[in-house]
Structure 1
Amino acid sequence: MNATEERLRDALKTVGDTIGPEDMPEPRFAAGRRRARRIAPAVVAVAACAAVVAGGAVVGGAFSSGGKVRPLTSMSASPSTAPTTSVTVFLCTKASPNASCLHEKATEPQKRALRQALEALPGVSGVEYESDGQAYERFKRRFPDSELFRRSAEVGDVPDSFRVVVGTRAEAAFVQKSVLGSPGVDTVIVEGR
């Protein structure tokens, strides 16, 4: 080793001896994990919503309303014109990942305005409201044996929603486009049978 290399080695050793763990910046990959922990509840809430919607479709489209369970097709006048498509409009919660929700729950005036707007849309044959409490109870019934799911969600994590019954996928797409971005609306999902 030449003299320059020896001086460089000594200088680095001296600096190395004066730096402690508290002087080192946190690695970037660790910061990402912390952010992931903050995002995880929102992801769980979205997964819970999707599971509840899928569960409702699998069970046959029965959604509770005021303690009674009635199939969505009962909103139709006759079986030959029974609706074949539904739209679920999920409302904002404090945990909503949608930036337009501003981490606030949908207000009662927003819910009333949204219901009126939905009922006025062409092709809509029924609108049914499901509170976050009703959605949470349905979520618990849907996953009775999954301790992980039940521990990961609380009342309020599964959002309020409107179930909208339409006849065709084109009408469902129109409903989706009409209400997406409205105040209090988090997500709109079109379901076909």
Structure 2
Amino acid sequence: MNSTEERLRDALHTAARTVDAFPTFTAPTRRFSFIPPLSAAAAVAAVVGGVMFFPGDPSPVPSVGEAFASSADSYQTSVYFCIERSSSSKCEGRESTDRQRQAISDKLESLPEVRKVTYESKQEAFERFRILFQDRPGIVATKKVGDIPDSFRVEAEPGSTPTIRLALSGLPGIDQIVDDEALRNASRN
């Protein structure tokens, strides 16, 4: 298994804990019964992958492996917001509010370890997902805008994710914080 496959495996494992329901499929034979969980896990993996898509950009879409690539002196942490279908008990079946997102943004901006905070809307996350899985129309057909949460992509000093987690602990509106640095390091071992 190469490092990209290992990172994807780790991302799927992390994301699988947040999947609360699978779409119902009618399969022609028993051998296709793995499709519902696979499609849900793939959707979450697309979010975790962190690949950016810019509509109209003629450059090729980066691979999932490139999404985990980072400069040696900067790492990314993803802060995913609550959506109605979040499985996290912290979300209580409610969407994050603008006030909660602003409080999270303010807290991130106040941390000296944080270099840059970028917001990715639900529409942008969905478009990135569609591009990642364009060769899998069955998976794309199971999702719509809003099924993939909006998020902050946080570029920070190496090793600062525990500090970021601690600073954000207790703030409402956060479904999960994904440490892309840890995923990258795990894939190297």
TM-align CA RMSD:
2.7
Misfit runs of 4+, over 6 Å: 66-69
TM-score between the two structures when normalised by the length of structure 1: 0.62
Percent of aligned positions with the same letter in both sequences?
35
Distance in 2 of aligned mates of 1:67 and 1:126? 24
The match for 1:155 is 145
Q: Deviations over 1:44-84 (max 9, x none)?
A: 6665233232252xxxxx465x9889xxxxxxxxxxx8643
Contact 2:80 2:174 survives alignment (8 Å): yes
Gaps of 5+ in 2: 1-19, 24-36, 59-70, 185-189
Gaps of 5+ in 1: 1-37, 57-61, 70-80
AA at the equivalent of 2:101: K
Which structure: larger Rg? 1
Distance in 1 of aligned mates of 2:53 and 2:166? 23
Work out which structure has the larger RCO, using CA pairs closer than 8 Å and 6 or more positions apart in sequence: 2
User: CA 1:180–1:108 in 2, change beyond 3 Å: closer, same or farther?
Assistant: same
Higher helix share: 1
The match for 1:132 is 122
Q: Give runs of aligned pairs for residues 33-182 of structure 1, distance below 5 A.
A: 39-40=21-22, 47-54=42-49, 56=51, 62=52, 64=54, 83-169=73-159, 171-182=160-171
TM-score between the two structures when normalised by the length of structure 2: 0.63
Length, aligned pairs only? 137
SS in 2 for 1:86: strand
Higher strand share: 1
Q: Deviations over 1:149-175 (max 9, x none)?
A: 202211101001000001212x12211
SS in 1 for 2:21: helix
